[in-house]
Chain A
Amino acid sequence: ELKVEQNPLFLSMQEGKNYTIYCNYSTTSDRLYWYRQDPGKSLESLFVLLSNGAVKQEGRLMASLDTKARLSTLHITAAVHDLSATYFCAVDNNNDMRFGAGTRLTVKP
């Protein structure tokens, strides 16, 4: 059974600092997604990673995928308050999408 684990589950960081969220998954897959969810809102797609070594960047967020290690990372550079949200990774295994538990990020001034 496909399992997806994220860590940390909770992350409190100061504005301007850098940090990385990790997403490990248990079976072979070459489609990994990162979503953002604000409180009371739905999931917003951030990145789609399709192959080993894929790297995508948008603003202060950069996502990468290592299919051999079954690991994706979401790196936050110089965090700002607007990035406070819950971030989910999700792995697509033959159209069976499994989500991690999410990382609740709080960026403090």
Chain B
Amino acid sequence: EAGVVQSPRYKIIEKKQPVAFWCNPISGHNTLYWYRQNLGQGPELLIRYENEEAVDDSQLPKDRFSAERLKGVDSTLKIQPAELGDSAVYLCASSSWAGPQPYNEQFFGPGTRLTVL
């Protein structure tokens, strides 16, 4: 079974430029998460989707960040314009409540390492 796919794996841009990240979750997973992981820290949730609906975007800096999940499958996270402090690894994860397990195990993609110069 294919895991969570993210692209690009690495991105280097200059400040004030736009950037976009793409995520393809595990087939059948209705919940999709975007996290930001700063160097030496744990992941921090930016936004969570249930199907195509953003149900938790309280930590998303909405002045410059946007996300969409069209048709409830793939998702795109955009930053415009990027700032120096946005340099981090952006992780996508997916999960599904379907099945016998009483918990919501998240499966993570490889991440996109963003460097803003």
What 1/0 flags go to B22-45 for Cβ under 8 Å of A?
A: 000000000001000000111111
| 20 sampled A-B residue pairs with Cβ under 8 A | A4-B42, A31-B104, A33-B106, A35-B108, A42-B111, A43-B108, A45-B105, A50-B102, A50-B103, A88-B42, A90-B42, A92-B104, A95-B56, A97-B33, A97-B45, A97-B106, A99-B43, A100-B42, A101-B41, A102-B40
**Is A65 at the interface (CB under 8 A from chain B)?**
no
B43 near A43 with CB under 8 A, answer yes
Complex Cα spacing A96 to B110, Å = 21
A4, A35, A42, A92: the one contacting B110 at CB < 8 Å is A42
List the A residue with the shortest CB-CB distance to B43.
A99
Using A33-B106, A90-B42, A92-B104 as known contacts, list a sample of 9 further A-B pairs with CB atoms less than 8 Å apart, ordered by residue number in A. A42-B108, A42-B109, A42-B110, A43-B91, A88-B42, A96-B45, A99-B44, A102-B41, A102-B42
A33/B42 contact (C-beta < 8 A), A42-B110, A96-B56 known:
no
Interface of A is mostly: strand
Complex Cα spacing A100 to B106, Å = 16
**Is A74 at the interface (CB under 8 A from chain B)?**
no
Complex Cα spacing A97 to B44, Å = 8
- Chain B residues with a Cβ under 8 A of chain A: 4, 33, 40-45, 48, 56, 91, 102-111
Chain B residues within an 8 Å CB radius of A92:
103-104
Chain B proximity of A40: nearest CB distance (Å): 8
Complex Cα spacing A42 to B107, Å = 9
Complex Cα spacing A4 to B110, Å = 23
**Is A68 at the interface (CB under 8 A from chain B)?**
no
Chain B residues within an 8 Å CB radius of A101:
40-42
Chain B residues within an 8 Å CB radius of A43:
43, 91, 108
B41 near A41 with CB under 8 A, answer no
Complex Cα spacing A26 to B82, Å = 33
